[in-house]
Amino acid sequence: MVNYAGKTSGMAIPLLSALNGNPILRRVSFFWLGLYPALGVRALIIFLFESKKGVSMKNKYFLTLIASVITLLWLSQGIMAAKGIYVPLFTYKTGPFAGSGIPSGNGMADYLTMLNERDGGIGGVPLIIEECETGYNTKKGVECYEKVKGKNPAIINPWSTGITLQLIPKTPVDKIPVLTMGYGLSAAAVGSVFPWVFNYPSTYWNQASAIIKYIGYQEGGMSNLKGKKIGFIFLDGGYGKEPIPLFEELSKELGYEFFKIPVAFKESQNQSSHWLKVRKEKPDYMIMWGWGVMNPTAIKEATRIKFNMDKFVGVWWAGSEDDARPAGKAAKGYKAATFHGIGQDFPAIQDILKYVVDRGKSQVKDRSRVGETLYMRGVFNSVLIAESIRKAQEKYGKRVINGEEMRWGLENINLTSARMAEIGLPGYTNPIKGTCDDHANNGPIFIQQWNGTGWERVSGWIHSMDRVRPMLEKAAADYKTKNNIPNRTIPCS
Amino acid sequence: MEILTQIFIQPFFDMIGDPILFLQVIWEGFVTGILYSLIAFGFVLIFKASGVFNFAQGIMVVFAALTLVGLHENGVPAYVALPITIFVMYALAFSVEKFVLRSLVNQPDIILFMATIGITYFLIGLGESIFGGEPKVMITEELLLPYGSITFFDDMLILQEIDIAASIIAAISLIILGLFMGKTRIGIALRAVADDHQAALSVGVSLNTIWVVVWFISGIIALITGIMWGAKSDVSFALSIIALKALPVLILGGFTSIPGAIVGGLIIGVGEKIGEFYWGHLVGGSIEGWLAYMIALVFLFFRPQGLFGEKIIERV
């Protein structure tokens, strides 16, 4: 994915410009570009060997080492001076969560590639897209961060709550904003405490409260939740545990009984005893906070105990086609939260097909899977990146922007309905308007339902409960105290 | 006092109070256990023949299932895809013997173990390159596996037909493999190799052939496990993690005992389900992962060589 076209060396720009649009020739030219310094080093060594016969072997090795270091520095300077906006994308296309990571990663890359191919980037500045594979592993994610942070990244997309939690203390120091689109630390929505973290379009807590609201609607009113029993099955880790404080708090206020069933990652495909517990508890509703292979297994197990699928609601990360498809028609009725549209009908998606997929510049293997839920989730992430870059360019000029400028762009993003139509995604999601204090937009969700072969929208936009924001502020204040975070000094304008 | 009641009294009251649910828990444990037995059988076979713990057994489950489903996705009918997959597993066994094991004869066991780790990562890369990392749906209907459930006691006891089929297929596979090991010429040769490599070689048993055979049988076992477990969730690389649940089974049953693998698998399967269901909530739930090892360790207190493992006495 690395595309340093014409940025590595000044002398290559005219050549590469001429070759623009021909990936094979471009790659060949890169090979030669890489070869120049290597040949230079080799020439230097030959020169040393031939002209200075009196030089000892030790010195020759030393001189060779010096020459290599100079070459590497020259090369890296060329990369650093790249005339493009560097957007690293953390992906997990390998490992046990690859099933979810592949479509989201593809959607993310394809939208940005489409902007490069169709418009030449954003504001005339090309986007330099580089993927870093994390395998959904926190340690590898931090390694990716350390690898890319020196290349003037405009933004970091961790795509993992675990990685996000590790990066939150680091990014203010390096002045790189973090976009945790629909995941991460819910309290990071409080911009006064977390100026460098953004979790548009909504937090897990917002979502959790909206799901409870939806269940309340199903029961004929929130007051009818009193005495109901709601079960929560979740991936036993930071991500799965994130909404528990909110569910427990709401259970006290609304009077529903709440019980938890953790699923260890290693038991993701071995959930029969967990679902027998569900059967024993006889809940009125089940909520699932799963990821990866846990989701299809849970849906299958729910069908096995004949749980009423109409009363089984998943988090927005448990609402992809791959989650419900394995259970097929038996999963009919299963519901999941989401916050965006799906399908290939959007003009922007048609452009992705035209400029990226059909030109062989996408990693999507099956054209028909473009537009599926997780692919569109990846697109959503890149729409936020692109619109924040545009916003930053409005203020700082149509040029390469750095992390600080991008942070301002994210904080001032204004994705209106009109703007969505303009970029080819009419009605794609609820409008998003950033503010200095709210980095999550307090966005609403809607519920989709599996009809046996695909998803159908079954609710309008559901906003989170008002009581969530004070809870987020309290959690942010606690985090600030616990971690000695200084007061925000970045101006809001 | 209350905690003691919850640990030592309440679970048994629950079992007696709802015996049908208790029966359901045992059934789920039995189905899981018999699949553990099958996986453990694959480990034992290779351990007996080469003295190495085959770390690649888990990824073989994934690779076999992915090959079957991947072929079908590309338009190959199930009845053709199945024999092709079996052939692929044979080719894998042949390649492992020819390119990995043959050159490592007489090397320390740890070298062979490391080689199986290498095979694991090779198969992960190969599988992802060919089939991609996306989860796939197991072709249960095309393989004529049953779908639906049978219920008893007013729908209180639910037996999935796929689970019944899995249990029967696993049981038949274990019986056939047992007979193969005990009654056929090659099975006896395999046992000879397991007992003493050099003695087996001296009477003309080909170690290379035996290794191909055991890796092939392990490949078939991996395929059966992959189909059955794939039908329970989906076919993805995460399936390889399940195969490692055979480790406590092997600790319990003994690394060299086929009956041990079968009985150990059932004990672990039923034990972890009962433990999770009746005691799990006392420690926050999700205890299956480590409970299996606890069960194995408790047995090891009394039989360090495992339930059916050979008691090795080395003279000083």
CA–CA min distance A369, chain B (Å): 11
Buried b (16+ CB within 10 A) or exposed e, B16-45: eeeeebbbbbbbbbbbbbbbbbbbbbbbbb
**For A137-151, A277-291, B162-176, which range has the lowest pLDDT when averaged over its residues?**
B162-176
- What is the per-residue pLDDT for A75? 55
Helix axes B19-50, B185-195, angle to 10 degrees: 80
Q: How many CB atoms lie within 10 A of CB B84?
A: 13
Contact between B234 and A297 using a beta-carbon 8 Å cutoff = yes
**For A372-386, B120-134, B229-243, which range has the lowest pLDDT when averaged over its residues?**
B229-243
- What is the architecture, at CATH level 2, of domain A205-338? 3-Layer(aba) Sandwich (3.40)
CA–CA min distance B135, chain A (Å): 5
- What is the per-residue pLDDT for A187? 94
Distance of CA A247 to the CA centre of its chain: 25
Average confidence (pLDDT) over B159-175: 91
Q: How many percent of chain A have pLDDT more than 70? A: 83
Q: pLDDT: is B49 or A191 the higher one?
A: A191
Tokens of A479: 């985090």
- What is the per-residue pLDDT for B314? 65
Tokens of A317: 């990360």
**For A55-59, A186-190, B289-293, B303-307, which range has the lowest pLDDT when averaged over its residues?**
A55-59
Average confidence (pLDDT) over B69-96: 95
Residue B25 pLDDT level (bands cut at 50, 70, 90) = very high
B17/A contact by beta carbon, under 8 A? no
Average confidence (pLDDT) over A157-170: 93
Interface of B with A in 229-248 (CB under 8 A): 229, 232-234, 236-239, 241-242, 245
Contact between B24 and A306 using a beta-carbon 8 Å cutoff = no
Evaluate if residue B106 carries a pLDDT over 80.
Answer: no
Quick one: which of A255, A196, A264 has its CA closest to A230? A255
Q: Over chain A, what is the mean pLDDT?
A: 87
Residue A19 pLDDT level (bands cut at 50, 70, 90) = very low
Torsion of CA A391, A394, A397, A398, to 10 degrees: 70
Q: Give A280's contacts in chain B (Cβ within 8 Å).
A: 18, 21, 277
CA-nearest residue to B131 within chain A is A365
Average confidence (pLDDT) over A262-267: 90
Torsion of CA B154, B158, B161, B163, to 10 degrees: -160
CATH of domain B2-302: 1.10.3470
Evaluate if residue A10 carries a pLDDT over 50.
Answer: no
What does the pLDDT look like over A439-466, one tens digit per residue? 998 889 999 999 999 999 999 999 999 9
Q: Which of B155, B242, B277 sits opposite A270 (nearest CB)?
A: B242
Contact between A272 and B137 using a beta-carbon 8 Å cutoff = no
Residue A223 pLDDT level (bands cut at 50, 70, 90) = very high
Q: Which of A264, A268, A272 sits opposite B28 (nearest CB)?
A: A272
Tokens of B55: 């770390």
Average confidence (pLDDT) over A283-297: 94
- What is the per-residue pLDDT for B296? 87
What are the phi and psi torsion angles at A395 (to 5°)? -90, -45
Q: Which of B21, B32, B272 sits opposite A280 (nearest CB)?
A: B21
Evaluate if residue A42 carries a pLDDT over 60.
Answer: no
Quick one: which of B29, B96, B237 has its CA closest to A94? B237
Cα–Cα–Cα angle for A151, A154, A155, rounded to 5 degrees:
105
Q: How many CB atoms lie within 10 A of CB A101?
A: 27
Evaluate if residue A31 carries a pLDDT over 70.
Answer: no
- What is the per-residue pLDDT for A9? 37
Evaluate if residue A7 carries a pLDDT over 50.
Answer: no
Q: Over chain B, what is the mean pLDDT?
A: 89
Give CB contacts under 8 A, 24+ apart, made by B294-300.
B295/B248, B295/B252, B295/B267, B295/B268, B295/B271, B296/B248, B296/B249, B296/B251, B296/B252, B296/B264, B296/B268, B297/B251, B299/B252, B299/B267, B300/B251, B300/B252
- What are A's interface residues with B at a Cβ cutoff of 8 A? 93-99, 101-103, 236, 260-270, 272-274, 276-277, 279-280, 292-293, 296-297, 300, 304-306, 322, 325-326, 328, 365
Q: pLDDT: is B305 or A39 the higher one?
A: B305
Evaluate if residue A4 carries a pLDDT over 50.
Answer: no
Interface test mutation site (partner A, options B31, B277, B288, B291, max chain A beta carbons within 10 A): B288
- What is the per-residue pLDDT for A50? 57
Residue A20 pLDDT level (bands cut at 50, 70, 90) = very low
B293/A contact by beta carbon, under 8 A? no
CA-nearest residue to B128 within chain A is A94
B284/A contact by beta carbon, under 8 A? yes
Q: Are A403 and A177 in contact (CB under 8 A)?
A: yes
Residue B240 pLDDT level (bands cut at 50, 70, 90) = confident
Tokens of B287: 């205890």
Q: Give B158's contacts in chain A (Cβ within 8 Å).
A: 304-306
Contact between B149 and A292 using a beta-carbon 8 Å cutoff = no
Q: Are B163 and B31 in contact (CB under 8 A)?
A: yes
- What is the per-residue pLDDT for A15? 40
How many residues in total does chain A contain? 493
Of the spans A255-259, B151-155, B159-163, B293-297, which averages the highest pLDDT? Answer: A255-259
B279/A contact by beta carbon, under 8 A? no
Average confidence (pLDDT) over A83-101: 90
- What is the per-residue pLDDT for A16? 38
Contact between B237 and A268 using a beta-carbon 8 Å cutoff = no
CA–CA min distance B182, chain A (Å): 33
Average confidence (pLDDT) over A348-375: 95
Tokens of A91: 């992906």
Interface of B with A in 26-85 (CB under 8 A): 28-29, 31-32
In angstroms, the CA A59 to CA A66 distance is 10
Torsion of CA B11, B16, B17, B18, to 10 degrees: 100
Q: How many percent of chain B have pLDDT more than 90? A: 46
Contact between A322 and B31 using a beta-carbon 8 Å cutoff = no
- What is the per-residue pLDDT for A12? 40
Q: Please give the C-alpha separations between residue B206 and each of B108, B192, B198, B203, in angstroms, as whole numbers.
A: 20, 11, 11, 9
Average confidence (pLDDT) over B243-249: 86
Q: pLDDT: is A82 or A143 the higher one?
A: A143
The domain limits of chain A are: 10-80, 205-338
Evaluate if residue A28 carries a pLDDT over 60.
Answer: no
Please give, one letter per residue, the 3-state secondary structure of chain B.
CHHHHHHHCHHHHHHHHCHHHHHHHHHHHHHHHHHHHHHHHHHHHHHHHHCCCCCCHHHHHHHHHHHHHHHHHCCCCHHHHHHHHHHHHHHHHHHHHHHHHHHHCCCCHHHHHHHHHHHHHHHHHHHHHHHCCCCECCCCCCCCCCCCEEEECCCCEEEEHHHHHHHHHHHHHHHHHHHHHHHCHHHHHHHHHHHCHHHHHHCCCCHHHHHHHHHHHHHHHHHHHHHHHHHHCCECCCHHHHHCCHHHHHHHHCCCCHHHHHHHHHHHHHHHHHHHHHHHHHHCCCCHHHHHHHHHHHHHHHCCCCCCCCCCCCCC
- What is the per-residue pLDDT for B45? 86
The pTM for the full model equals: 0.83
What does the pLDDT look like over A382-400, one tens digit per residue? 999 999 999 999 999 999 9
What does the pLDDT look like over A99-123, one tens digit per residue? 889 999 999 999 999 999 999 999 9
The domain limits of chain B are: 2-302
- What is the per-residue pLDDT for A360? 95
- What is the per-residue pLDDT for B236? 86
Evaluate if residue A69 carries a pLDDT over 80.
Answer: no
